[in-house]
Amino acid sequence: MKTIFFDMDGTLNRLYDYPNWLEKLRAFDPSPYAEAEVNLNMSLLARYLNKLRTMGFRVEIISWLSQIPNPAYDQAVTAEKYSWLDKHLGSVEFDAIHITAYGVPKQNFITEEDDILFDDNAAIRQAWTGQAYEPSEILTVLYNLIKGS
């Protein structure tokens, strides 16, 4: 069963546009993860994802924690990421949400050779052995998957 994976930071949300995001993260402040603006039309994304799930696709999240491991902060960040997803994509039932240590190779999560990843990081997209796209392509690629079946 083909899986569609989404990165969160910089892909589904605009974390890097959040005021003083880096300083806050370095100070172990999880608020940017909670308050980051959406990066695309979430209502349309939810409709597409729900349709694709009825068509047999799996939908999963792969998102990294902070570059500086800190158990209490990692727990707070994980909670904020789940909360952000619930707030902006609450109608989508994800098959899995992987909030992992920073740097874990995302290609480790591939289950089918044609699995899809949406990620803002070009190096991650290049390392992905399935199909990888940048955030600006999300709605078009998903629309084409729906219409192509």
pLDDT single digits (tens) 91-140: 999 999 999 999 999 999 999 999 999 999 999 999 999 899 999 999 99
What are the tokens at 120?
Answer: 């803002």
Cα angle at 41 between 116 and 63, to 5 degrees?
A: 45
Q: What proportion of the chain, given as a percentage, has pLDDT over 70? A: 99
Q: Do the beta carbons of residue 100 and residue 64 sit within 8 Å?
A: yes
**Domain 3-148 is found in CATH 3.40.50.1000:** yes
DSSP single-letter state for residue 65: -
Its pTM stands at 0.96
How far, in Å, CA of 116 to CA of 2, rounded?
8
